[in-house]
Structure 1
Amino acid sequence: MYFLYNLIVICASAILKVLALVNSKLALFVNGRKKTISLIKKSISKEDKVIWIHAASLGEYEQGLPIIEQLKIYHPSHKIILTFFSPSGYEVKKNSKIADVICYLPMDTKRNVNAFFSAAHPDIAIFIKYEIWPNYLSALKKASTPTFLISALFKEDQIYFKWYGGFMRKALNNFSHFFVQNEKSKTLLGSMGHTNVTIAGDTRFDRVNEIVERNNELEFMTRFKDGKFCLVAGSTWPEDEKLIIEYINKTTYSIKFVIAPHTIKDNHIQEIIQSINKKVIRYTDLEHNNLEDCEVLIIDTIGLLTKIYSYADMAYVGGGFATGLHNTLEPAVFGIPVIIGPKYDGFAEVEELIDLKGVISIENTNEFTEVTNHSFTNDDLRVKTGHVNTAYIKNKSGATDRIMSVLNSVIG
């Protein structure tokens, strides 16, 4: 089976190189990996003690960030290598100072694995949530390197629990310990004979709690909000923007709106602006306008949304009508109601918060209008809904401490 797996990975790598010639995102994926070994060798010497952390993309990075921050505090003599699989993670965080080396993970071929381990020689490896790469895991096991999977989530429909999933089930045997999010994941791993499992929870809850504690002040948002009710729509797709803009154009309520689109290309921003019949301004034009008089602010840059949520009286999180729901915990932690679209299957925290009535799923503009108007006109309802979200997140926090108690004992 290893032969077939390696053949598939090699063929996939070759196909990706061809497709990268005509696809800019795949070009980042392919060309970025060419720099991995040189980036590592530039910062890691043979004498260094190394902690390797791997995240698939940006979401997994956010889950791993509380752990990385704690590792830097407790083990300052170790160097940290952070690898990404996806461009959507690496390209956003490649210039961060959170790790000594930030790079792509080379494709999981034996040749790449050998080159990576020769340069990185990790003393401990931490994979986040779903990342299972058989050749890398096998090499870690052969080197007797402690290897952990954190914030892991297992479900019956995953390949490990299919009749044909024996090869991937075997790959799980290479982990020293699993830190899972819930009892169900522990039970599923137990059905395969794994007893090295701890229910630690999801480190994302610790991450969003840290967001509240930091300084979230934005001078331009203070001026824009101007003491009025503010709805922040984050990570929106065209399907989301259509219903939000329809509401903006029709409502007579005194509401300030912030729209932070997922796509910030100029032509898309212009389309949004032209479809709004109220006074609108884009973030990059702030210095030329009186913010207090504007009713709609378009965020055409990245890196501000989390702080902007702190100014919201309610939030809309995009993706629930399109390719996949974005992070609902970031606005929810500020104690406000959160509206989403109808597609949220697989997001355990969203399903639970919908049952608790902290998150509201809508299917059309009429439902969006009803929910928004109720929140605007009923302060008690809005506050009660927001409290549901903060209490839920507080109750789910603590995964980082549970994981670190084990990691610290292993690293020494």
Structure 2
Amino acid sequence: MLARLSYALLWLCALPFVLLRLAWRARRQPAYLRHLGERFGHYAVRAPLPVIWVHAVSVGETRAAEPLVRALLAHWPDHTVLLTHMTPTGRETSENLFGREPRVLRGYLPYDLGSACRSFLSHFRPRVGIVMETELWPTLLASCSARGVPVLLANARLSERSARRYARWPALTRMTVGALAGIGAQTEADARRLGDLGASGVAVTGNIKFDISPPDALIALGASFRQRVGGRPVLLAASTREGEETLILEAFRAQAPDDAMLALVPRHPQRFDEVARLVEAGGLKLQRRSDEAPVEAETRVWLGDSMGEMFAYYAAADVALIGGSWLPFGGQNLIEACAVGTPVVLGPHTFNFAQVAELAIAAGAAQRAADVDEGMKSAVALLGDKQARIAAGEAGRSFAAAHRGATARTMAIVERLFAGS
């Protein structure tokens, strides 16, 4: 109880700084200031009852939740699914994925303040909650437990780094994971780390991201992208993070064949213009995907300044360098590349996708490099070796197919929660 009280007091003290950070982020992305009342538990939209609540903090979690949300809609046709997020890009992703589905509503999850959490639960009255990956909010989960709302932590992953961070607050962490009605972990290692923090009854369900099927429309868009480029080799730098683009551009300029083109897709849309300036400052001719123009022969970098089209970029590429893995960000999802048969080159930092990365390497679908220069060397070698690319692409498709089924295993847990609610 003392731990929870201390946490609540810390939140109250931190709230002015949280709001300042929100305002600071809004300088780059004004959407952060929209729907501000929702962050304090005040909502204009009202969901028809009964409600299944799914929380997906940002873009990656929202895309991972897609197979599960579609399964929920199919299994409980009389229910509304409420998707909550913490970022505008997560919210925009859910609009792109489910915008035409009238039974999917969306909003921001409130800050972890007692009054805001109670207001959220009173307004929507969810029967069951599903939190994607590792969003553990002590006050919210305690409020759910007090109201008899069972919450499942689905597709749960916990790196060693995150586990050490949670372990600094042992009493609060034990209470928080103890408030969960179920946990579906991605891997045995994730389950073990969650158990070490005090979680009980953890099931290993696998990674729901393997169940995401490449949409036909995006595969067709990828073919259209490829037609714009022509017969030139295409190297994709996918979901890059701040600081990585400079390293990748330098390595590309030094090592890539003159006819090769780099498709550069930053992870965060607020950085599109910044990355464009980096390319132009380096003297490489740039075009943007948003221009909807044929790619000129002298264009060296094609900036992927769009959202929700990653499958199309992978489908258009010969080889993909996975962003977030070249500097210590923990890596980004490589499953989509494997699913469309695009060979993958990873950097040294993949702690957010540790098992997936190692399994993909073991399957022959991915290679690991020690740094960007070595990664570019590997990518260029694949560009010049068609048979190696074909073999890696086929290995990727087989790897992705072999690990499907997490959605069904997660749904089995959700059914048990419904039965007990």
Partner of 2:150: 146
The Cα shift of 1:202 comes to 1.0
**Using the alignment, how far apart are the partners of 1:41 and 1:290 within structure 2?**
44
The Cα shift of 1:410 comes to 4.2
**Using the alignment, how far apart are the partners of 2:200 and 2:112 within structure 1?**
27
Long gaps (5+) in structure 2: none
Deviations 1:281-319 (A, max 9, x none): 3223344x5656755422233333321211212111222
- Asked if residue 345 in structure 1 is aligned to residue 347 in structure 2, the reply is no
Written as runs of structure 1 = structure 2, the 5 A alignment for 1:154-303 is: 154=158, 158=163, 162=167, 164-190=169-195, 195-207=200-212, 210-211=213-214, 215-218=218-221, 220-237=224-241, 238-248=243-253, 251-252=256-257, 254-262=259-267, 264-266=271-273, 268-273=275-280, 275-277=282-284, 280-287=286-293, 291=296, 294=299, 296-303=301-308
How many residues are treated as equivalent by the alignment?
Answer: 406
- Asked if residue 316 in structure 1 is aligned to residue 312 in structure 2, the reply is no
Describe the SS at the equivalent of 1:310.
helix
Contact (CA 8 Å) 1:356, 1:388: kept in 2 or not?
Answer: yes
Distance 1:79 1:385, change over 3 A: same
Within the candidate set 19, 43, 68, 2:46 is matched to: 43
Written as runs of structure 1 = structure 2, the 5 A alignment for 1:60-79 is: 60-79=61-80
- Asked if residue 53 in structure 1 is aligned to residue 54 in structure 2, the reply is yes
Contact (CA 8 Å) 1:223, 1:292: kept in 2 or not?
Answer: no
Distance 1:265 1:230, change over 3 A: closer
Bigger shift: residues 390-399 or 10-19: 10-19
**Using the alignment, how far apart are the partners of 1:116 and 1:196 within structure 2?**
27
**Using the alignment, how far apart are the partners of 1:358 and 1:390 within structure 2?**
8
Deviations 1:183-222 (A, max 9, x none): 2333445556755322111111112xx1166651126413
Distance 1:168 1:160, change over 3 A: farther
State TM-score, norm by structure 1: 0.85
Contact (CA 8 Å) 1:240, 1:319: kept in 2 or not?
Answer: no
Bigger shift: residues 107-116 or 316-325: 316-325
**CA RMSD, Structure 1 to Structure 2 (Å):** 3.2
Partner of 1:12: 14
Q: Which has the larger radius of gyration?
A: 1
Counterpart of 1:127, as a letter, is: V
**Using the alignment, how far apart are the partners of 1:168 and 1:194 within structure 2?**
9
Long gaps (5+) in structure 1: none
Deviations 1:318-355 (A, max 9, x none): 22234622322222222222123332234221233335
Distance 1:365 1:114, change over 3 A: closer
Bigger shift: residues 371-380 or 35-44: 35-44
**Using the alignment, how far apart are the partners of 1:54 and 1:407 within structure 2?**
14
Bigger shift: residues 52-61 or 33-42: 33-42
Describe the SS at the equivalent of 2:107.
strand
Identity %: 22
The Cα shift of 1:134 comes to 1.8
Counterpart of 2:83, as a letter, is: L
**Using the alignment, how far apart are the partners of 1:16 and 1:261 within structure 2?**
25
The Cα shift of 1:8 comes to 0.8
The Cα shift of 1:67 comes to 0.7
State TM-score, norm by structure 2: 0.84
